[in-house]
Amino acid sequence: MKTGWHMICGYNCFVLDNRIIRVSIDSGTNHTYAPRKYNKKSDTWDDCSGISLSAFRRGILKGTIEMW
C-alpha cells in the first residue's frame, strides 16, 4: 500500500512502508492517535504504532486494538 492516508476497517489511517503509524478517528478535527494493543500479561494497552495492516485488521475484528 502506498504511503499516505487510507481508510482501513472504517478508520482513516496513515500508512508508511505498509505499517500503520497514526489513526484519525474524527475527520472534523486534526487529532491523530497511535493504535494501542491490549496486553493480557500486564493488563495494559500498549502503543503499537508501526503495526502491520493484517495485524491491525485482525485486532480491530477481535477488539484487541483501540485508538485513544
| 3-state class (DSSP) for residue 22 | strand
Contact 68, 20 (CB under 8 A): no
Smallest CA-to-CA distance from 59 within 32, 34, 35 is with 35
Q: Can you list the positions of beta strands (E) in the chain? A: 4-8, 11-16, 19-24, 35-39, 44-47, 51-52, 65-67
Residue 57 confidence (pLDDT): 96
Average pLDDT over residues 25-34: 81
pLDDT digits (tens, 9 = 90+) for 10-23: 899 999 999 999 99
Contact 33, 68 (CB under 8 A): yes
Residue 27: pLDDT band by 50, 70, 90 thresholds? low
**Distance from the first to the final alpha carbon of the chain:** 24
What is the domain partition of the chain in residue ranges?
A: 4-67
Residue 30 confidence (pLDDT): 78
